[in-house]
Amino acid sequence: MVSVTQEARAEPLPRPTGRLLSGGLPLAWLGVVPFFLYVTLFLLLPALSLIVGAFQTESGSLTLANVNSILQPQFTDAYKTSLELSAVTALSGGILGLLVAYSVVREGAPSWLRAVFTTFSGVAANFAGIPLAFAFIATLGVTGIVTVFLRDRGIDIYSDGFTLYHFTGLAITYTYFQFPLMILIITPSLDGLRREWREAATNLGASTWQFWRMVGLPILLPALLGAMVLLFGNAFAAYATAYALVGGTLNLVPLLIGISMSSDLFANPNLGDALAAGMIVIIAVAMLFYALLMRRAARWRR
Amino acid sequence: MPIDKHPDEPGRISRRELFKRGAMTGAGLMGLGAIGLNDVDSAFAAFLEAGNYPAKLVAAAEKEGHLNIIACPRDWANYGEIIDTYQSKWKMSITDAIPLGSSAQELQAVQNYKGQSRAPDTLDVSPAIALEAAQDKVLMPYKVATWSTIPADAKNSSGLWYADYYGVTSFLSVNQFVKNPPKEWADLTKPEYKGQVALGGDPRTSGEAFGAVFGAALAHGGSLNNIGPGIDFFAKIKAAGNWNPTLGNEIANDAKGATPIVIRWDYLTLADRDSLAKQGMKATVNVPSTVFAEYYCQAISKYAPHPNAAKLWQEFIYSDQGQLLYLKGYAHPIRYSDLAKRNKVPASLAKKLPASKHYNNIKFPTYAQLVKAQAVLTKEWGPKMGVS
Amino acid sequence: MRRFRLSPWNYLWIIVGAAYFLVPLWGTAEFSLETGIGKYGFSNYATILQDPTFKTDFLLSLKIAVETVIISLILMVPTMFWIELKLPRLKPVMDFIAVLPFVVPPITLAVGILHVFNRPILSLLLADEKILALTYVVLALPFTYRSLDAGMRAIDLRTLTEAAQSVGAGWVTILIRVVIPNIRFALLSAIFLTMTLVMGEYTIASLMLFNTFPVYIQYVGATQAQPAAALSMISFGLTWLGMLGILVLGRGVGQRQTVVGGAH
């Protein structure tokens, strides 16, 4: 992504004393009060109401019924499928995104190429819902351009068992916004992969593959994994595209939350809260990994 | 979602008619069903048709100047024309929030926006949500002038909600992809429709898809008390390889061949047919012999920021003109039998509808039956349809 | 030995990436040009562009996007500057908060915010689209945080600040005339990501009853066939051009980057 391309600073300067560190702890904390107030109002309180709602009935009394419900097979099955879909697209989007990002960001790549790809990625990463579902129906659907193209050449993907309207098709569609997201997230880290290291490795006689195996990937790995965890969360929470493409025939947690909370028939918002609370637990664990990995990644970039 | 104001229209109420109407209003409202002043109500309905609405109501509504409706897509039961007509008949503007919203979202909007000027004034929701809203005490009772002509099993006795239009299950087939459109439920399992049969949504959440499953139930030995056979039938469709999980409620999917056959309410399939025709694509709509029918309900929010505009909207919807506008959108207005009895249905309009024999013996489910069916469906649809 | 050229593998991945982006768009474009069986033309585009709702909803989304960017930057830039400078121990907390928005599903966030704000004084904020902008600031948090963080780490904040203070600059001056010019690209990135997020977000906008551009797109997508495809193309194109514009503008204005002290 577009980032500051100045030379990174070298060794840290000796810690200055005096004015910068005066003021003491209490005063300094005042500076971040607006931010934390904002986050409390707009993020923490809503999240809290969700968790509280998971343990309530419609009338407000406490209950474990919702939690029990989501432990039923139809719901645990949904969590499993959601996890699978998220993991698969985090990988597919992550790997493809990394390869494309590196190709347009490395030295030797014209800068217009980078601008085009990163701006396109910005738009594509947010292209979801009905328009995206339809774009893939128009491409890989029964009369989609790719399907027809292949059929004219004797390959009928549908008779071979492929269908757009199930897991694989949804994964392919999700990748459309996953890999640009990866490009956007990983580019700053790629920029940090200093050219000097590559030059040094080459001067020492290393091949491209050796460079990557022994220098590049180890350095990038924490940032890579961290980015994939973000992709994982992104896919896990995706709703509009899934609903538009597979309706309710794939058991996914966001779809079940949608059923609980926005139905034509009956609404069961507390069950929806419980399902969402389950999501929070899973993603929170994933994000914990992410936080740990990012800390390791930061070490290399100082 | 037009929000531009319309040009001025002068009122057309003479003093004599004011008198007449005053008397009629009094008599009509008193005569709600119990006394049986049918002639009076019909005459009053005639007044509404002639465009004479109570001046006080119109003035109060125009003073509010605005109406917030919610989840009324322009192409659903001809809401587009209904909205435009309301805005041009009086000095009113309408905001239609979230046209694609579900009934539950409408109720949530009422609860979440209590006291805000953007809150919805009126609702058009499924019977289940209407009942829930009544239980949650968020509705304002109001009985329209034509109240007595609404069938008793389609309204809440206190006037909290009442049916506005209904539809029956029907099949839409896009001719380009379906050479031999299915006519009856049994046809749907035929091998020629491989991968083609779709619903307008997930039956566990979408009213029209729920209706489709119920229709299949009624056609296969089930009843309003037993939706099981319907689920089994769709499982059979799936086993035959004919099931298509893509949502059939998007016209683009129909046009692209993604959903060649869709089971939806008749007013939706007929409107879809017309939409496709505009792009040069031919489609066929067939109504099977056994149908499931369901109505939607109008209600006014207790917290409506524009209560008089809301009441005027109701009066308009339940006037002959309003009800016929629904019919123009292929949705049977709830006052259809009353209109037919008084010969108010234009022959040209009647011709475009499916044969009346499909609508003669319909029975709407009760709340208890809906609750039961929904519970069974939620439990069994996933496992039986092999959702994984 | 320096490598100035792209390897064949690079070309391969560039082509694969471009194809993945473009082929589905081509599918949509092809459908958008259909005006009848076997006929092609631009009438579907005309239908959309002449729809008054298109303009109204697009401008509303644009307005919200600008508001979101402004609120976001006013909130984030000083906060992150302060933390980088004075409270580095808070970084892990910030890292965690910055990924929280992924954790809360949009439906819940919208309902939760409505609950919090539907009470006496706070409800003033619910009256117009500002509440949506305020919510989007949170949604964009992961992206704005990462961008600004990368930017602030890469410059020598301490030295710059010290130097500015030694010539008598106050905090506000430091922020505006020292920090911001030096994190220009990070700022652009943050603005960029925020705007595309707002122009593409549907769930919360619809739950809060706003007829924004994505709500319009979904509505047209569900009710019309070829014009919906035309709208998809228009919206993609407009947003992309907008982003290119921001990029070009950002780079063009003031090429020099102030570096005070620090090391090379």
User: Is C129 in CB contact (< 8 Å) with chain B?
Assistant: no
Q: Do B129 and A143 touch (CB under 8 A)?
A: no
Relative to beta strand B66-70, strand B93-97 is parallel
- Most confident of the ranges A296-300, B300-304, C210-214: B300-304
From CA B81, how far away is CA B100, in angstroms rounded?
17
Of B108, B116, B255, which has the smallest distance from its Cβ to C126's Cβ?
Answer: B116
The full set of domains in chain A, from first to last, is: 69-301 (1.10.3720.10)
- The number of C-beta contacts closer than 8 angstroms across A and B is 113
Residue A249's Cβ-count burial label (10 Å; 0-12, 13-18, 19+) is: buried
Of B103, B199, B246, which has the smallest distance from its Cβ to A264's Cβ?
Answer: B103
Answer whether B286's CB lies under 8 Å from B171's CB: yes
Which two tokens mark C175?
């922020």
> Residue B356: CB partners within 8 Å, gap ≥ 6?
none
pLDDT (mean) for B309-325: 93
DSSP of chain C: ----S--HHHHHHHHHHHHHHHHHHHHHHHHHTEEETTEE-SHHHHHHHT-HHHHHHHHHHHHHHHHHHHHHHHHHHHHHHHHHHH-GGGHHHHHHHHHHHHHS-HHHHHHHHHHHH-STTGGGGGGSTHHHHHHHHHHTHHHHHHHHHHHHHHS-HHHHHHHHHHTT--HHHIIIIIIHHHTHHHHHHHHHHHHHHHHH--HHHHHTT---HHHHHHHHHHH-SHHHHHHHHHHHHHHHHHHHHHHHHHHHS-------S---
Per-residue confidence (pLDDT) for residue B28, from 0 to 100 = 40
Using CA coordinates, name the residue in chain C closest to A295. C92
For residue C34, pLDDT over 90 is answered with no
Relative to beta strand B93-97, strand B332-333 is unpaired
Answer whether C204's CB lies under 8 Å from A130's CB: no
Report which residue type is found at C115.
Answer: H
Per-residue confidence (pLDDT) for residue A144, from 0 to 100 = 85
Q: In 3-state terms, what secondary structure has residue B279? A: coil
User: For chain C, what percent of residues have pLDDT higher than 90?
Assistant: 22
Sign of CA dihedral C248, C250, C251, C255: positive
For residue A25, pLDDT over 70 is answered with no
Higher pLDDT, A254 or B234: B234
pLDDT (mean) for C24-29: 92
Q: What are the boundaries of each domain within chain C?
A: 41-252
Q: Please, which pLDDT band fits residue C136 given cuts at 50, 70 and 90?
A: very high
Answer whether C217's CB lies under 8 Å from A130's CB: yes
Per-residue confidence (pLDDT) for residue B61, from 0 to 100 = 92
Q: Do C159 and A145 touch (CB under 8 A)?
A: no
Per-residue confidence (pLDDT) for residue A84, from 0 to 100 = 94
For residue B16, pLDDT over 50 is answered with no
Place of tokens 């919610």: B70
Per-residue confidence (pLDDT) for residue A179, from 0 to 100 = 93
Sign of CA dihedral A248, A252, A258, A259: positive
Per-residue confidence (pLDDT) for residue A19, from 0 to 100 = 42
Using CA coordinates, name the residue in chain C closest to A121. C21
pLDDT (mean) for A282-297: 75
Rounded to the nearest angstrom, the minimum Cα separation between A122 and chain B is 26
For residue A6, pLDDT over 90 is answered with no
Q: Do C20 and A179 touch (CB under 8 A)?
A: yes
Backbone angles phi, psi at B139, to 5 degrees: -110, 150
Q: Please give the ipTM for the structure prediction.
A: 0.81
Q: Do C104 and A47 touch (CB under 8 A)?
A: yes
* Interface chains of chain A (3 or more CB pairs under 8 Å): B, C
Q: Do B115 and C123 touch (CB under 8 A)?
A: yes
For residue B261, pLDDT over 80 is answered with yes
pLDDT (mean) for C32-44: 82
For residue B79, pLDDT over 70 is answered with yes
Residues 187-246 of chain A with CB under 8 A from chain C are 188, 198-199, 202-203, 208, 230, 233-234, 237, 239-240
Helices (H), A193-264: 195-203, 208-211, 217-237, 240-246, 253-261
Q: In 3-state terms, what secondary structure has residue A46? A: helix
For residue A300, pLDDT over 60 is answered with no
Cα–Cα distances (Å) from A257 to A275, A278, C106, in that order, read 6, 11, 11
Residue A236's nearest CA partner among A91, A82, A128, A124 is A82
> Residue B210: CB partners within 8 Å, gap ≥ 6?
A264, A265, B203, B204, B373, B374, B377
User: Which of A39, A182, A231, A260 has the most C C-beta neighbours within 10 Å, making it the best mutation to test the interface with C?
Assistant: A39
Q: What is the DSSP letter of B172?
A: E
Per-residue confidence (pLDDT) for residue A51, from 0 to 100 = 85
Residues 252-281 of chain B with CB under 8 A from chain C are 252, 254-256, 275-276, 279-281
pLDDT (mean) for A152-178: 85
pLDDT (tens digit per residue) in A276-288: 888 888 877 877 7
The full set of domains in chain B, from first to last, is: 15-166+295-358 (3.40.190.10), 167-293+361-383 (3.40.190.10)
Helices H / strands E in chain B, number of each: 15, 10
Place of tokens 């896009």: B174
- The whole-chain average pLDDT of chain B stands at 83
Q: Do C103 and A284 touch (CB under 8 A)?
A: yes
> Residue A181: CB partners within 8 Å, gap ≥ 6?
A93, A97, A121, A125, A230, A231, A234
How many CA atoms lie less than 13 Å away from A135 in the CB half-sphere?
26
Per-residue confidence (pLDDT) for residue A125, from 0 to 100 = 86
Question: Which positions in chain B touch C207 (Cβ < 8 Å)?
Answer: 98, 105, 108
The fold of C41-252 is MetI-like fold (1.10.3720)
Q: Please, which pLDDT band fits residue B385 given cuts at 50, 70 and 90?
A: confident
Using CA coordinates, name the residue in chain C closest to B71. C209
pLDDT (mean) for B36-56: 58
Place of tokens 């939690």: A67
Per-residue confidence (pLDDT) for residue A173, from 0 to 100 = 94
Q: Do B246 and A267 touch (CB under 8 A)?
A: no
Answer whether A52's CB lies under 8 Å from A256's CB: no
Which two tokens mark A239?
């709703």
User: For chain A, what percent of residues have pLDDT higher than 90?
Assistant: 14
Cα–Cα distances (Å) from A68 to A47, A49, A55, A274, C108, in that order, read 21, 19, 10, 9, 20
Answer whether B188's CB lies under 8 Å from B180's CB: no
For residue B33, pLDDT over 50 is answered with no
For residue B216, pLDDT over 90 is answered with yes
Mean pLDDT is lowest, of A77-91, B43-57, B221-235, C237-251, for B43-57
pLDDT (tens digit per residue) in C90-107: 887 887 788 778 767 787
pLDDT (tens digit per residue) in B280-315: 889 999 999 999 999 999 999 999 999 999 999 999
Answer whether C254's CB lies under 8 Å from C181's CB: yes
Which two tokens mark C21?
């982006």
User: Is A283 in CB contact (< 8 Å) with chain C?
Assistant: yes
